[in-house]
């Protein structure tokens, strides 16, 4: 077993626990370094590489393994991306991190060790009650004492662990969550590894001293898939202690994620992957939009309503995924890119005065008893106009009155007039009229416009009884 000397110790009064001050500094340095590494990996420049890595990693996992895209798997995927995935530039992310950042001497020593740390298969040799365990690398023969009592409580001797072990000073700790197999799986797994390693060596040429190091880096995602597959087969073909088989991994994750690479960062891999898909969708020609792209259709009148209808249909699919506990996507992000809404569901105003006009509209409509749907329609109308024209506002109250009047006309309520609104907001009725005409022309507003109106158009059903008149009235602009 690997051991290290300790320079400074303090014995706590009234107990037998010994605090190793030097090792405490190493632990703190390790925690700080993990945080820095997570923040570095979170940079937008790596998002595309992360998305490609995710696709490769998930494709290496059998479809028989349920929950391939759960948080546990995504966390392990992201850890693999940081340590093992070779990006387009020929480097791993941790190598980029090492080259681009400035570190203390202790951080530099940790990084030198961590950048060479590979995922491997370890067998639990001895449980150290209340402390951790002694594990042996069944591939390269090294032994480590891992200080982690919470994990030790979950496993038995002979359990196989697929993990990455990181050195922190004189101690060793697990990089992130791991997979566990019962000990009887050792033979089939080693046989699979040896066969694949032989093929790897033939492709790479004569084996060198570092061949295993490169093999474990290049094939880590494949090994992960094999361990999952063997675990599934083991759990269905032979009765074993439940805490020794694959479900252990999820409980293990709950115990050792504190101060580990954050799962919310891993989640971003999924977001980037879906982001890329929907980015492409924005510029695809859609038959339902008259063979226009969503980006093109969102810029004009009725076509914009069709885009919203498509998004609502797609949201039903995403809602089903949420109910099934699957990976899902927030389509408000798409609306934001089309100038409809922000990712938080609230409208984003490019100028503060636009937001003040919106607030004035809401205040008036609430005071006069308009329901939430009508208020939402008015806000959408104003936001669409601001996105289309980016107007310069000389007097905000004029536009508050204009938006209210426009919404009233769209719904054919007849509740407010230009004169009444002009008196209420202390502006000119003719200015309200002129601004209303600008909005109508810009947005191609129609009576009962489906983009904004909450009322059912009386034209619905007329297509069958009087199609000619319905066609004329359908295109009637305000």
pLDDT at 344 over 50: no
**Of the ranges 5-19, 218-232, 365-379, 387-401, which one carries the lowest mean pLDDT score?**
5-19
More confident residue, 459 or 80: 80
Predicted confidence (pLDDT) at residue 415 exceeds the cutoff of 80: no
Question: Tens of pLDDT along 307-330?
Answer: 888 888 887 777 776 776 666 777
User: Where is mean pLDDT largest: 112-126, 145-159, 269-283, 459-473?
Assistant: 112-126
The 3-state DSSP class for residue 256 equals: helix
Of residues 336 and 449, the one with the higher pLDDT is 449
Q: What percent of the chain has pLDDT over 70?
A: 75
Q: How many CA atoms lie within 13 A of 47 on its CB side?
A: 12
pLDDT in tens, 99-135: 988 899 999 999 999 999 999 999 999 998 878 899 9
Nearest to 321 by CA among 39, 70, 139: 70
Reading the block at residue 147, the tokens are 């200080």
Catalogue the E-assigned strands of 77-174. Answer: 119-128, 132-137, 143-147, 160-168, 171-174
Which DSSP symbol is given to 183? G
User: Is the Cβ–Cβ distance between 71 and 6 less than 8 Å?
Assistant: no
What confidence score (pLDDT) does residue 76 get?
A: 85
Let me know if 99 is exposed, middle or buried by CB neighbors in 10 A (0-12, 13-18, 19+).
exposed
Query: What is the biggest distance separating any 2 CA atoms in the chain, rounded to whole angstroms?
Result: 96
Residue carrying the six token digits 């797994």: 189
If pLDDT is split at 50, 70 and 90, which confidence band does 235 have? low
Given a cut of 70, whether residue 464 has pLDDT beyond it is no
- Topology annotation, domain 352-471: Cyclin A; domain 1 (1.10.472)
What stretches of 9-158 show up as alpha helix (H) in DSSP?
21-41, 47-59, 71-83, 93-100, 105-114, 149-152
The residue-averaged pLDDT of 243-260 equals 39
Mean pLDDT of all residues belonging to the chain? 77
In this prediction, residue 3 has a pLDDT band, given cuts at 50, 70 and 90, of very low
Q: What is the pLDDT of residue 461?
A: 53
Domain boundaries along the sequence of the chain? 9-264, 289-334, 352-471
Task: Evaluate whether 438 touches 411 at the Cβ level (below 8 Å).
Answer: no
Mean local confidence (pLDDT), 333-344: 61
pLDDT tens digit sequence for 28-74 = 999 999 888 888 887 778 878 888 888 899 888 876 555 555 667 77
Q: Is the pLDDT of residue 360 over 60?
A: yes
Q: Is the dihedral of CA 68, 280, 266, 326 positive or negative?
A: negative
Over residues 386-409, the pLDDT tens digits come to: 988 888 888 899 999 999 999 988
Is there a contact between 135 and 122 (Cβ–Cβ < 8 Å)?
yes
Q: Is the CB of residue 119 less than 8 Å from the CB of residue 220?
A: yes
Mean pLDDT check: name the lowest of 23-32, 236-245, 394-403, 432-441: 236-245
pLDDT tens profile 127-170: 988 788 999 999 888 998 988 776 777 778 888 999 999 999 99
**Exposed (0-12), middle (13-18) or buried (19+): which is 394, by Cβ within 10 Å?**
exposed
DSSP code at position 173: E
pLDDT (0 to 100) of residue 240? 35
pLDDT at 288 exceeding the cut of 70: yes
Q: Cα–Cα distances in Å, from 217 out to 82, 190, 373? A: 11, 17, 55
């Amino acid at each position: 077993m690997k051991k290290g000397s300790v320079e400074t110790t303090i014995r706590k009064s009234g107990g037998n626990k010994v605090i190793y001050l030097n090792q405490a500094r190493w632990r703190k340095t390790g925690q700080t370094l993990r945080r820095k590494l997570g923040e570095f990996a979170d940079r937008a420049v790596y998002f595309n590489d992360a998305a490609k890595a995710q696709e490769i990693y998930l494709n290496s996992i059998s479809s028989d393994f349920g929950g391939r895209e759960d948080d546990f798997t995504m966390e392990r995927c992201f850890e693999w991306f940081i340590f093992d995935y070779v990006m387009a530039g020929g480097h791993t992310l941790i190598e980029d991190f090492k080259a681009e950042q400035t570190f203390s001497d202790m951080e530099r020593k940790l990084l030198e060790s961590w950048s060479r740390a590979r995922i491997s298969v370890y067998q639990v040799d001895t449980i150290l009650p209340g402390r951790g365990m002694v594990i042996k690398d069944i591939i390269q023969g090294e032994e480590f004492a891992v200080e982690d009592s919470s994990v030790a409580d979950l496993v038995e001797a002979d359990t196989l662990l697929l993990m990455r072990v990181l050195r922190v000073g004189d101690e060793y700790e697990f990089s992130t969550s791991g997979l566990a197999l019962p000990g009887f799986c050792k033979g089939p797994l080693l046989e699979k590894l040896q066969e694949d390693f032989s093929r790897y060596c033939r492709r790479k040429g004569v084996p060198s001293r570092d061949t295993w190091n490169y093999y474990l880096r290049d094939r880590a995602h494949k090994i992960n898939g094999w361990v999952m597959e063997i675990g599934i087969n083991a759990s269905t073909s032979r009765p074993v202690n439940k805490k020794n088989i694959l479900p252990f991994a999820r409980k293990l994750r709950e115990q050792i994620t504190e101060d580990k690479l954050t799962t919310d960062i891993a989640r971003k891999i999924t977001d980037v992957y879906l982001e890329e898909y929907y980015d492409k969708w924005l510029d695809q020609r859609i038959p339902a939009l008259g063979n226009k792209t969503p980006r093109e259709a969102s810029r004009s009148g009725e076509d914009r309503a069709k885009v919203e209808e498509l998004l609502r249909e797609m949201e039903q699919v995403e809602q089903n995924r949420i109910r099934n506990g699957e990976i899902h996507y927030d389509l408000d992000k798409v609306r934001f890119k089309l100038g409809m809404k922000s990712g938080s569901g609230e409208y984003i105003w490019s100028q503060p005065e636009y937001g003040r006009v919106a607030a004035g509209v809401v205040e008036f409509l609430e005071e006069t008893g308009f329901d939430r749907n009508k208020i939402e329609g008015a806000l959408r109308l104003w936001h669409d106009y601001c996105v289309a024209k980016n107007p310069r506002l000389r007097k905000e109250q004029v536009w508050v009155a204009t938006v209210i009047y426009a919404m009233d006309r769209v719904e054919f309520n007849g509740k407010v007039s230009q004169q009444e609104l002009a008196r209420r907001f202390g502006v000119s009725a003719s200015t309200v009229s002129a601004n209303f005409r600008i909005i109508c022309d810009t947005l191609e507003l129609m009576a009962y416009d489906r983009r904004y109106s909450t009322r059912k158009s009386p034209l619905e059903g007329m297509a069958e009884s009087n199609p000619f008149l319905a066609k004329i009235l359908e295109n009637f602009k305000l």
